[in-house]
Amino acid sequence: GRAGRGGEKVEEEEEEGWHKLYPGHIPTSPLQKALLAAGSAVMALYDPYRHDMVAVLGETTSCLALPNLRDKMKNHPEGYHILQERPRIRLSTLDIARLQGLPDGSLGREYVRFLEDNKVSPDTRMPPKFVDDEELAYVIQRYREVHDLLHTLLGMPTNMLGEVVVKWFEAVQTGLPMCVLGAVFGPVRLSTRKLQVLATELVPWAIRSGLNASCVLNIYYEQRWEQPVESLREELGIFPPP
């Protein structure tokens, strides 16, 4: 009888659209997603360092962009391999000591240097909750976990100027509305001098690089630690930073 009642509860949840697709998944209706998107957008614009709100905004507005990114990965040998193996970039999966011992200029060494210099950790990336597809949830998780690697490739710090530049590159690359909003509204807190540098040098470079580069989610970074950053930039089609 206990099992029967449990089965009935599961059936009721599935009928109501409340079936969890992966650990941590919170099923939501289109209206709920719209409300979450609006609220998180306001909070993220007020405080761009509210990573929880940025994450919610990304998940609730990415219904068109994520399938497109997933398809790009499926149609690329390395991207398809990533989707099959689903690697994670976490402190528990990184051999920090080994990466620190790699030559200067290699992806692994420069990535760890970026983490150390900017006092950031890959473990701060929140797991997805509101993406109603298990495979697409991994795609947005992967995007989040390679974000710091994009900072490394683009040579951008984690201050507001650096984040805005990376967001312009990501907006062109991914089409994620969250990236577009960050790129457009992020500069409002910058000084006049930084805005001038952004408008005349950094944004044009980020846009050109984003348009020219192949999909950055199709690189199995964990298998490229020894590769020089400059070599990977050339392979992807990212122009040298100004």
CA distances from 98 to 95, 102, 106, 225 (A): 5, 7, 12, 10
Q: Cα(4)–Cα(35) distance, rounded to whole angstroms?
A: 36
Q: Compare 237 and 8 and report the one with higher pLDDT.
A: 237
Does 146 fall in a domain? Answer: yes
Does 88 fall in a domain? Answer: yes
The tally of CA atoms less than 13 A away on the side-chain side of residue 154 is 29
> From the CB of residue 9, how many other CB atoms can be counted at a distance below 10 Å?
10
Is-contact 145 89, C-beta < 8 A? yes
Residue 167 φ/ψ, nearest 5 degrees: -65, -35
Q: What is the CA radius of gyration of the chain?
A: 19
Predicted structure pTM score: 0.88
pLDDT of residue 41: 86
pLDDT of residue 173: 97
Q: Cα(160)–Cα(223) distance, rounded to whole angstroms?
A: 30
**H or E stretch including 96?**
helix 96-100
> Token pair for residue 32?
């709920």
Does 55 fall in a domain? Answer: no
Number of domains in the chain: 1
pLDDT at 143 over 60: yes
Confidence of residue 16 (pLDDT cuts 50, 70, 90): very low
Q: Cα(215)–Cα(72) distance, rounded to whole angstroms?
A: 7
Does 213 fall in a domain? Answer: yes
Q: Cα(13)–Cα(125) distance, rounded to whole angstroms?
A: 29
Does 104 fall in a domain? Answer: yes
Task: Compute the mean pLDDT over every residue in the chain, rounded to the nearest whole number.
Answer: 90
Does 77 fall in a domain? Answer: yes
Per-residue pLDDT, averaged over 50-72, amounts to: 90
Residue 228 φ/ψ, nearest 5 degrees: -60, 140
Least trusted range by pLDDT, from 8-22, 51-65, 180-194: 8-22
pLDDT of residue 10: 43
What is the total residue count of the chain? 242
Q: Cα(136)–Cα(113) distance, rounded to whole angstroms?
A: 30
pLDDT of residue 45: 73
Confidence of residue 13 (pLDDT cuts 50, 70, 90): very low
For residue 226, give its domain range. Answer: 65-236
